[in-house]
Amino acid sequence: MRKALAVGRKELAQIRRDRLTLSSMLFLPTFLLMLFGYALNWDIKHVRLAVMDREHTTESRQLVSSFVNSTYFDVVAAPSSMAEVERLMDRGQARAALVIPEGLTRDLRAGRPSSVQILVNGDNANTASAVFGYAQAIVRGVSAELQLALAAGASGLAAPISAEPRIWYNPELKSTLFLVPGLIAFIVMISCVVSTALSVVREKERGTWEQVRMAPISTPSYILGKTIPYFFISLGAAFLIIAVAMLLFGVPQRGSWLLLLGAVSLFVFGGLGTGLLVSTLVESQAMAFLAGLLISLLTTFILSGFVFPIASMPAVIQWFTYVVPARYFLVILRGIVLKGIGFGPLAQQFLALGIYVVAVLGLASVRLARERG
């Protein structure tokens, strides 16, 4: 027993010296509970809704108010044409659109049924199904209210207003068209981060880091030399995954291959830079692997909008998602592959991804320069 206590005291002293391990043991479980508890939410709220009201009557305004008061929808635009609706959907500024036709009130007061059109962005099949379900329920509720109000003049009218659905970009709501692009980002990010995270730490464990420190080469050149091989390997692996997804899962490619190449290249650079940054913070390959896996897995799977809608997360978590590169890459990838849109509507996402790449490579350079100094 005395020997066991001695070993225990020795191990406790070792743990106290290894502050990174101690912090991980104490605070990582709490962090994971908070992250999963707040971010994992299947509820769909605050859906960005564009309303094209061609009627502008009491009845049409009542319908729009019902959408807003439901708390599921936020009216973000009032387009005047279908071309403007398409532009809003392409840019991701609206996920759904409500089109109220002319003559709605006239038909209702004459006892004739009428319909409104609900357009839903189908690039996220799960969200699209939920959004259309909410919209149908709201339309049915308003229809029941109008039926009571117009009962005297609309005798026998079963449903004054009905919802006419249209799902854009994924009319059959195939889950693979939503999941596969997310899996591509997920797999590419993990492989990029882990590969470069291990590369620098491997130098430290093998004892060759001192030679790197003394070598007559600048830190940017060292980083460039470290990333170039992994860049081409990761880029080839990414397009291999995309090709397999198109062959086996029927994922289309409706946009520009050149634009897709640029997007994947930026994302790969971001992943490699993240891995290099991780490698400057740890001292062992095991810790580098664990840290790289946690960073890439948690952020890409949970905080990118891949599975759980960002709009349904608490405001603090939403702000944190702005530093997740997969958030922007998924918008770009789905825009190019599913929607076939060009650079213009995706310029903001490209810019954000570029800023992330510059920032993470810059931080990695500063950290490596400090270690070499």
pLDDT greater than 70 at residue 8: no
Question: What is the per-residue pLDDT across 77-90, written as a single tens digit (0 to 9) for each?
Answer: 888 888 898 888 88
Please identify, among 168, 195, 214, the residue that sits at the C-terminal boundary of a domain: 168
Say if residue 158 is in the same domain as residue 210: no
Q: Residue 28 domain-assigned?
A: no
Enclosing domain of residue 161: 47-168
Sign of the four-CA dihedral 334, 336, 339, 342: positive
Q: Residue 1 domain-assigned?
A: no
Rounded Cα–Cα distance for residues 192 and 232 (Å): 11
At residue 73, φ and ψ (nearest 5 deg) are: -125, 145
Say if residue 72 is in the same domain as residue 189: no
Domain count of the chain? 2
Question: What is the per-residue pLDDT across 308-338, written as a single tens digit (0 to 9) for each?
Answer: 777 777 778 888 889 899 999 998 998 898 8
Please identify, among 168, 186, 212, the residue that sits at the C-terminal boundary of a domain: 168
For the question of whether the overall pTM of this predicted structure is more than 0.85, the answer is: no
pLDDT the model gives residue 359: 92
Q: What is the DSSP letter of 53?
A: E
Say if residue 147 is in the same domain as residue 207: no
Question: What is the per-residue pLDDT across 235-268, written as a single tens digit (0 to 9) for each?
Answer: 888 888 888 888 887 788 888 999 999 999 999 9
Tally of CB atoms within 10 A around 110: 13
Please identify, among 145, 168, 191, the residue that sits at the C-terminal boundary of a domain: 168
Q: Tell me if 300 sits within 8 A of 306, measured CB to CB.
A: yes
CA proximity to 300, closest of 291, 290, 308: 308
Question: What is the per-residue pLDDT across 63-117, written as a single tens digit (0 to 9) for each?
Answer: 888 888 887 888 888 888 888 988 888 888 888 898 888 887 787 777 777 788 8
Helix axes 257-279, 285-302, angle to 10 degrees: 140
| Total count of residues recorded for the chain | 373
Say if residue 266 is in the same domain as residue 152: no
Say if residue 203 is in the same domain as residue 163: no
What type of residue is 106?
Answer: R
